[in-house]
Amino acid sequence: MADNARARKLADRIQVVVAETLDRRIKDPRLGFVTITDARVTGDLREATVFYTVYGDEEERAASAAALESAKGILRSEVGRQTGVRFTPTLAFVPDALPDNARTIEDLLDKARSRDAEVREVSTGKTYAGDADPYRKPEADGDDEETDKGDASA
């Protein structure tokens, strides 16, 4: 069983090798604007998962996924050649969900901003339901304090 540091180093190296190979050697017209975002290797260094994003619509994403699957053999052999490990890990390409999550968060933030603007618009010119200053304050005249002290000594 390999240690986690070695798996992380191998994952980082696989990410770089796959990105460079896609840029330089793979000439598939189906391959769109692909960005390799992350790579993870199992603890036994046998399987590598490569996360990617594609700029474009669903059709371009599907075409790029097919191109990556067809180029998997070339990419794996290049990873094996450049990393020098005894067993070249198998590659699995997974579309990264980060852009979709970011888009969802942006939509939720836009909704929150619009609701805040509605509340701000409704509350403009309104006053509080109670007094302007709802906190109790000590009385200004000192007569009550003196009588309290006098009563306590008696």
- Closest by Cα among 68, 4, 67 to 40: 4
Q: Residue 113 CA to chain centroid, in angstroms?
A: 21
The whole-model pTM stands at 0.65
The confidence score (pLDDT) of residue 144 equals 54
The dihedral through the CA atoms of 38, 56, 59, 100 has a sign that is positive
CB 47 within 8 A of CB 41: yes
Distance CA 44, CA 148 (A): 81
Digit-by-digit pLDDT tens for the chain (154 residues) are 557 888 999 999 999 999 999 888 888 888 878 889 999 999 899 999 999 998 888 888 899 899 999 989 999 999 999 988 889 999 999 998 877 788 889 999 999 999 999 988 888 888 777 777 778 788 876 555 555 555 555 4
